[in-house]
């Protein structure tokens, strides 16, 4: 069996940081070694020479767990940066038009390939994505993940109203297609399936019942949907489901909340909704670049955390404006500034790695540099651009370096990416 040792400054989180001085929440090795065998991490510690291993020296860069993106739409890769006012206009003008193209297998395959290249370029080694309503878009998504040996979560969007006919399925076909796709892709390679009713507006009660049945029949799968992103969306949802107490209540009534349920946005929630999310263990997913771009609102991390709600962070491509978690953390910091809340750099990098792994109940598999975990790793350079190098010359602490990385860094800071122990960024075509 071949053994590889990555040498560099190793940083990995152990628990959620309780502030800038919480040095017990992470492990940092100034001259560290990550030993990899068969795609997995087998040892982590201070570097010592080993004649039986291939040694790759990444000093002076940082080695971190690969970033995890909790919510994005691979089928929106070609509508990022589309000029729209707010959510519903953006969906109708660009999104629902664009997603129709995924009825073509060739198109889906080509976009999936470019999408994964972009994830790797930005240091994202695991993501949770929506495909289109076409089953073949899901085939393209998971086939590409399998080819690259990546741990990816995703699913076919279920939507049977308030969208163009060409994009709509039916309650029955969405059930049948989802069932077949779970059988084909869940647990194949590193793929994991997410039952994906798009949101209350595009699902009839009959389709919500179909989703409820799927969730009950497949507790091994994730569930993903959108919740309380925009005021007009909330009003329309309540018109469509007048018997539910609030937006969260719609999903609650159909039994689709729970510890594997990922709720994109979750911005405008009342106290009852917050309590229900906490009680069910559902995950609120913070999508800062999207929320600012579409003017949706300011995620209230402090209130949700106080209520005990699990939280993840995500890009939400293509409502979001950048594939990278670094840019996303920067915008997240600014959203919370506007809320009067502070996000320490340790908390930022925790969220993008171990925090998101925990939100996916995948601690012990990804999100940390620890024996037994997959060797999904990134190498980050805090002096990747002249402006970063200029600032880095004055940096004296790890916290300052992380904050510089999230504030000034982007894909150029991601020096290398390892997926299950194999180099993935330097081997990308066209670089
Ligand atoms: N709500 C329902 N669908 C979508 C989508 O594609 N993007 C965003 N941002 N919100 C949604
Ligand atoms: Zn979304």
The answer as to whether 285 is a domain residue is yes
pLDDT score, position 429: 72
pLDDT score, position 105: 98
- Separation CA 313–CA 328 (nearest Å): 8
The answer as to whether 125 is a domain residue is yes
pLDDT score, position 430: 53
CATH for 279: 3.20.20.140
Whether the pTM exceeds 0.80: the reply is: yes
The answer as to whether 212 is a domain residue is yes
**Burial of 372 from C-beta contacts in 10 A (0-12 / 13-18 / 19+):** exposed
Instruction: Show the domain range for 255.
Output: 67-323
Q: How many residues does the chain have?
A: 431
The answer as to whether 279 is a domain residue is yes
The answer as to whether 102 is a domain residue is yes
If one residue of 226, 228, 231 were mutated to test the ligand 1 pocket, choosing by the most ligand atoms within 8 A of its CB, it would be 226
Which-ligand-closest: CA of 289?
A: 1
Number of H helices, E strands in the chain: 16, 16
Ligand 1 atom closest to Cα of residue 229: 10
The answer as to whether 118 is a domain residue is yes
Ligand 1 atom closest to Cα of residue 296: 9
pLDDT score, position 431: 42
> How crowded is the C-beta side of 188, counted as CA atoms within 13 Å?
16
pLDDT score, position 23: 96
Q: 155 CA distance to ligand 1 centroid (A)?
A: 14
- Separation CA 217–CA 237 (nearest Å): 26
Ligand 1 atom closest to Cα of residue 320: 9
The answer as to whether 160 is a domain residue is yes
What ipTM does this complex have? 0.99
| Dihedral sign for Cα atoms in the order 204, 208, 213, 218 | positive
Nearest CA to ligand 1 atom 7: 319
The phi, psi pair for 49, rounded to 5°, reads: -60, 145
Q: Identify which of 113, 77, 127, 72 has the alpha carbon closest to the alpha carbon of residue 98.
A: 77
Residues of the chain with pLDDT under 50: 431
Pocket (CB within 6 angstroms of ligand 1): 73, 87, 91, 95, 198-199, 226, 229, 290, 316, 319
The answer as to whether 165 is a domain residue is yes
Count the domains in the chain.
Answer: 1
Ligand 1 atom closest to Cα of residue 199: 2
Within 10 angstroms of residue 414's Cβ, the number of other Cβ atoms is 26
């Amino acid at each position: 069996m071949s053994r590889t040792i990555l040498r560099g400054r190793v940083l990995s989180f152990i628990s959620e940081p309780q502030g800038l001085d919480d040095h017990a929440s992470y492990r940092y090795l100034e001259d560290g070694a990550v030993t990899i065998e068969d795609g997995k991490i087998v040892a982590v510690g201070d570097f010592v020479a080993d004649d039986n291993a291939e040694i790759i020296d990444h000093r002076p860069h940082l080695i971190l767990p690969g970033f995890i993106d909790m919510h994005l739409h691979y089928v929106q890769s070609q509508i990022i940066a589309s000029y729209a006012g707010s959510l519903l206009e953006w969906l109708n003008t660009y999104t629902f038009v664009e997603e129709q193209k995924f009825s073509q297998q060739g198109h889906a395959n080509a976009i999936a390939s470019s999408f994964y290249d972009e994830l790797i370029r930005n240091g994202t080694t695991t993501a949770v994505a929506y495909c289109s309503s076409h089953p073949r878009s899901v085939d393209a998504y998971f086939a590409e993940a399998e080819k690259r040996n990546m741990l990816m979560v995703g699913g076919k969007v279920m939507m049977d109203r308030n969208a163009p006919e060409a994009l709509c399925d039916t309650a029955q076909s969405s059930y049948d297609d989802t069932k077949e796709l779970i059988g084909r892709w869940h647990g194949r390679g590193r793929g994991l399936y997410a039952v994906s009713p798009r949101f209350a507006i595009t699902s009839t009660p009959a389709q919500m019942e179909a989703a409820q049945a799927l969730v009950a029949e497949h507790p091994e799968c994730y569930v993903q949907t959108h919740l309380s992103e925009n005021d007009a969306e909330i009003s329309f949802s309540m018109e469509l489901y007048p018997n539910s107490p609030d937006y969260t209540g719609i999903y609650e009534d159909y039994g689709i909340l729970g510890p594997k349920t990922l709720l994109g946005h979750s911005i405008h929630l009342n106290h009852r909704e917050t309590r229900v999310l906490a009680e069910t263990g559902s995950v609120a997913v913070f999508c800062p670049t999207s929320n600012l771009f579409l003017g949706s609102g300011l995620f209230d991390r402090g209130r949700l955390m106080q209520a005990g709600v699990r939280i993840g962070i995500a890009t939400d491509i293509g409502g979001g404006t950048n594939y990278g978690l670094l840019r996303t953390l920067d915008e997240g910091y600014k959203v919370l500034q506007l809320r009067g809340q502070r996000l320490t750099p340790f908390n930022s990098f925790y969220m993008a790695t171990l925090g998101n792994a925990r939100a996916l109940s995948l601690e012990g598999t990804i999100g940390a540099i620890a024996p037994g975990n997959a060797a999904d790793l990134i190498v980050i350079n805090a002096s990747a651009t002249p402006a970063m190098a200029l600032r880095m010359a004055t940096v004296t602490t790890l916290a300052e370096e992380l904050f510089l990385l999230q504030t000034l860094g982007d894909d150029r800071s991601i020096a290398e990416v390892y997926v299950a122990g194999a180099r993935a960024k330097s081997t990308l075509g066209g670089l």
